């Protein structure tokens, strides 16, 4: 008897690839309330859920690209999709077969499970555009001691300006050329679309530019299958198949016929052409990039966000402070963070690191990968825990940081979903204790997007130390739950929003003459 995975693959083998991908595009649009379809809306309501989980749609799209073809006779409909979705949810996680799971640390299981879900919930296009511009465009003057510049390097890699890459990604995500049973399919484009956009005033959208963009973010069925077969991506143990890397994240545009492309999820195009640029640089320059990125570029963006809500006299910056002291003083003072905010109740110490969950953690959640991420978090926190210790001893008083209760905030590039949960927090405290810290201040780990959410809360009246103090008390995977009402209205900081909005207005269509 076939298992659930074999039944999924057998089922999709009989489906016509292009039309079925169009159906998934339409289904996702309906579940997001972007398109009206009474039959699908009624069918979804019968499931007693608000929407179809995006990660299920991605999984089905991947199975179609791996096993379906355009020679198949049948087209996916609701009945077929629901059947595949039910089979997907019947795939057991490996933890089910582990007799020791009741007494085991569940961090790995939670990380690989939440890695499918939380990033999708936090995807806001204007936030991703604004933050990407802050990181990859607004740093042309920043160079390492060896002359390394991220903007110049990135533009050499992608073959166009950062602005052009983000612009093409945005317009591809907004494109509507094809239709599914009379419904427009957003994110479906032909090369004729690019010609029309150039004619309508988008001078950057030349054949040279959009072809380079397509070469970097699009693939056909055969290339998709080749990527899935790479050793670094495929899982040997099929029990982990639902967590296996999905090339849609790297190549959100699928070539479904000659010179015609479809984005199953147009939002993936925004993510790929904005914050996804990090991985183009990482793939090219590795640690040379990440070390400089975390120490300089990331640090600067966090400072820009802080300065957007607080006057300079309330902030302390390590990069500015280092210019005012001698090398002897630097060596004497010890470890320290990147930023500090002098609040009414607490001093908030901030450390910026280009940490993000790796494939092993998101796919397998192995004990080794969990241990490694905990060690890296503890190592980064050590910088500001040490600074807190010396602040209490009065060593920073001459530099404006008086002995005062402190809170430690680690800001990471990517979201480590379990970082603020009780299991990891306990191990972090243990590691810091083993390094001799008898007093460990309250701490919280925030991704870049989450810190942008915090800045938004500061804009509407909360103080930074009040917010992070509240967040440190939440041994949870959803530490912003108590701010849900405030953030539901707008979760993006004004700094990020204005940066993105100004950019989008500058690339808007102009009336052709």
What pLDDT is stored for residue 24 in this prediction?
Answer: 96
What pLDDT is stored for residue 121 in this prediction?
Answer: 64
Q: Are 80 and 23 in contact (CB under 8 A)?
A: no
What pLDDT is stored for residue 160 in this prediction?
Answer: 93
Nearest-angstrom CA–CA distance, 112 and 503: 35
Helix, strand, coil percentages for the chain (3-state, nearest 5) = 60, 10, 30
Nearest-angstrom CA–CA distance, 174 and 357: 29
Q: What would the two tokens of residue 501 be?
A: 């909005």
Which residues of the chain carry a pLDDT beneath 50? 510-513
What pLDDT is stored for residue 207 in this prediction?
Answer: 81
What pLDDT is stored for residue 511 in this prediction?
Answer: 40
Beta bridge partners of 406: 347
Q: Quickly list DSSP for 53-102.
A: -HHHHHHHHHHHHHH-BTT-SB---HHHHHHHHHHHHTSPPGGGG-TTGG
Q: What is the pLDDT of residues 356-388, one digit of tens each?
A: 999 999 999 888 999 999 999 999 999 999 999
Q: What is the pLDDT of residues 106-149, one digit of tens each?
A: 888 888 888 877 665 678 999 999 999 999 998 767 776 667 88
C-beta neighbour count of 2 within 10 angstroms: 9
What pLDDT is stored for residue 81 in this prediction?
Answer: 96
What pLDDT is stored for residue 513 in this prediction?
Answer: 33
The three-state secondary structure class of 350 is strand
- pTM as predicted: 0.93
What pLDDT is stored for residue 215 in this prediction?
Answer: 93
Q: Which residues touch 454 (CB under 8 Å, ≥6 apart)?
A: 446, 464, 467, 468, 471
Q: Sheet with 315-317: list strands edge to edge.
A: 315-317, 339-342, 347-353, 406-412, 443-447
- Classify burial at 332, counting beta carbons within 10 Å of its beta carbon; exposed 0-12, middle 13-18, buried 19 or more: exposed
């Amino acid at each position: 008897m076939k298992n659930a995975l074999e039944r999924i693959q057998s089922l999709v083998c009989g489906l016509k690839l292009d039309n079925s991908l169009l159906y998934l595009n339409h289904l996702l649009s309906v579940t997001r309330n972007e398109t009206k379809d009474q039959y699908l809306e009624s069918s979804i309501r019968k499931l007693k859920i608000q929407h179809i989980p995006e990660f299920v749609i991605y999984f089905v799209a991947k199975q179609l690209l791996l096993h379906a073809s355009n020679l198949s006779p049948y087209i996916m409909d609701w009945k077929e999709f629901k059947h595949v979705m039910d089979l997907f949810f019947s795939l057991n996680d490996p933890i089910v077969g582990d007799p020791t799971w009741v007494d085991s640390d569940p961090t790995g299981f939670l990380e690989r499970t939440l890695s499918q879900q939380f990033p999708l919930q936090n995807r806001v296009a204007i936030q991703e555009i604004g933050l990407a511009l802050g990181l990859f465009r607004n740093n042309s003057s920043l160079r390492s001691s060896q002359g390394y510049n991220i903007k110049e390097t990135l533009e050499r890699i992608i073959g166009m300006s950062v602005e052009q890459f983000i612009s093409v990604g945005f317009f591809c995500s907004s494109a509507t050329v094809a239709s599914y049973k009379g419904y427009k399919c957003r994110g479906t484009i032909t090369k004729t679309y690019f010609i029309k956009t150039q004619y309508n005033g988008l001078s950057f959208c030349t054949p040279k530019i959009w072809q380079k963009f397509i070469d970097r973010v699009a693939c056909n069925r055969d290339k998709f299958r080749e990527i899935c077969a790479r050793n670094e991506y495929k899982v040997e143990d099929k029990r982990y198949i639902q967590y296996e890397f999905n090339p849609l994240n790297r190549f959100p545009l699928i070539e479904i016929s000659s010179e015609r492309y479809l984005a199953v999820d147009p939002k993936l195009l925004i993510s790929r052409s904005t914050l996804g640029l990090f991985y183009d640089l990482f793939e090219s320059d590795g640690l040379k990039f990440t070390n400089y990125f975390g120490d300089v570029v990331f640090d600067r963006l966090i400072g820009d966000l802080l300065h957007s809500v607080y006057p300079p006299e309330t902030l302390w910056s390590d990069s500015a402070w280092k210019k005012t002291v001698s090398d002897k003083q630097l060596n004497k003072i010890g470890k320290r963070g990147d930023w500090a905010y002098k609040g009414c109740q607490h001093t908030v110490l901030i450390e910026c690191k280009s940490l993000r969950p790796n494939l092993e953690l998101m796919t397998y959640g192995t004990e080794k990968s969990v241990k490694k991420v905990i060690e890296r978090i503890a190592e980064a926190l050590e910088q500001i825990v040490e600074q807190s210790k010396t602040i209490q001893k009065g060593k920073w008083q001459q530099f404006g940081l008086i002995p005062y209760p402190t809170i430690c905030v680690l800001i990471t590039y990517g979201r480590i979903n379990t970082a603020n949960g009780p299991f990891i927090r306990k191990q972090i405290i243990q590691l810091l204790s083993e390094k001799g810290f008898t007093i460990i201040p309250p701490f919280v780990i925030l991704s870049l997007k989450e810190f942008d959410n915090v800045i938004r809360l500061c804009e509407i009246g909360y103080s930074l130390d009040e917010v992070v103090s509240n967040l440190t008390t939440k041994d949870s995977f959803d530490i912003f739950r108590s701010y849900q009402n405030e953030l539901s209205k707008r979760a993006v900081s004004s700094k990020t929003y204005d940066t993105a909005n100004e950019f989008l207005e500058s690339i808007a269509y102009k009336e052709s003459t």
